[in-house]
Amino acid sequence: MAAHSPFLEGNQNVQRSVLPSQLKIACSNCNLRELCLPVDLSIGEMQQLELLSHAKHNYTRGSYLYRIGDKLHSLYAIHSGSFKTQFLHEDGREQVTGFQMVGEIIGLDAISTDRHNCDAVALENSEVCELPFNKLESLSRELPSLQRHLHKIMSSEIVRSQGIMLLLGSMRAEQRLAAFLLNLSQRFAARGLSPTRFQLRMSRQEIGSYLGLQLETVSRAFSHFQDDGLISVKVRSIEILSLQRLQSCLNSSP
């Protein structure tokens, strides 16, 4: 989706040198990548922001970060690990609406109603930084660049959803899976991780739910890609052998 700029990363101290046009920082206690990186803040402002996110919490695989109906207190910046968000259908079935990884912000769904509209579940043991939403709002009233960036994050989420609507509405199984893998690839790349070899932290079931497919169809699509030499999968480990050829899967006509 959105192009990511290169960045520095680390867990060193708070003080950073301010680089010419783009402030490159990593928060002392949390990689607030999404929230901080493109924002052009002074060091003093950064410190204010960091004060926001003093609380870091751990979540074990399968535990809930929040549940449908929970009151909105905070947004969360994922410091390590990953989550899924899911709607719960009246009739019991669930639909995965997204997978979130390191550096992404989770919880935006709750702002409209003051209550969370989906569940967020840890896919592995994970750490999140809590960003009390009231404080975020008041700080963004003082810092126009933070305000703008908060708006951008929300708008990105809208654009992301629209991309998935496109995927669900007009792509077939293998195109969907290709799009999904390429999206993961880009997100790993943007974090300086390998864009071709990574772990799938979610089950075939969850991938299927996200892509509007049955788990068997997902499995078959994986097998097919493998037979065609596009990827090499071993259950949860995947290597993309040709990003280019995978990309060309997206442009098949019907």
Q: Which is nearer to DNA, 42 or 60 (CB)?
A: 60
What amino acid is encoded at 66 in this protein? Y
**Residue 217 contacts DNA per CB under 7 A:** yes
**Residue 239 contacts DNA per CB under 7 A:** no
Tell the smallest beta-carbon distance from residue 61 to DNA (Å).
Answer: 9
Tabulate helix, strand, coil % of the chain (nearest 5).
Answer: 40, 20, 40
Angle at CA of residue 151, ends 183 and 38, nearest 5°: 65
Most distant pair of Cα atoms in the chain: their distance: 56
Near DNA by CB under 7 A: residue from 213, 230, 231, 249: 213
Tell the smallest beta-carbon distance from residue 10 to its own copies (Å).
Answer: 27
219 binds, among its own copies, DNA, none (CB under 5 to 8 A by kind): DNA
CA distance 48 to 222: 46
69 binds, among DNA, its own copies, none (CB under 5 to 8 A by kind): none
Span near DNA by CB under 7 A; candidates 11-19, 97-105, 130-138, 202-210 = 202-210
Span near DNA by CB under 7 A; candidates 15-23, 45-53, 158-166, 169-177 = 169-177
Residue 151: phi and psi, rounded to 5, are -60, -40
**Residue 84 contacts DNA per CB under 7 A:** no
Distances (CA, A) of 19 to 24, 30, 86: 7, 20, 39
Residues that bind its own copies (CB under 8 A): 2, 87, 89-91, 93, 95, 97, 108-113, 117-118, 137-138, 140-142, 144, 147-148, 150-159, 161-166, 168-170, 209-212, 250-251, 253
Nearest to 40 by CA among 16, 23, 24, 15: 23
Contact between residue 88 and residue 25 where contact means Cβ atoms under 8 Å apart: no
Return residues touching DNA (CB under 7 A). 172-174, 203-205, 212-220, 222-223, 233-236, 254
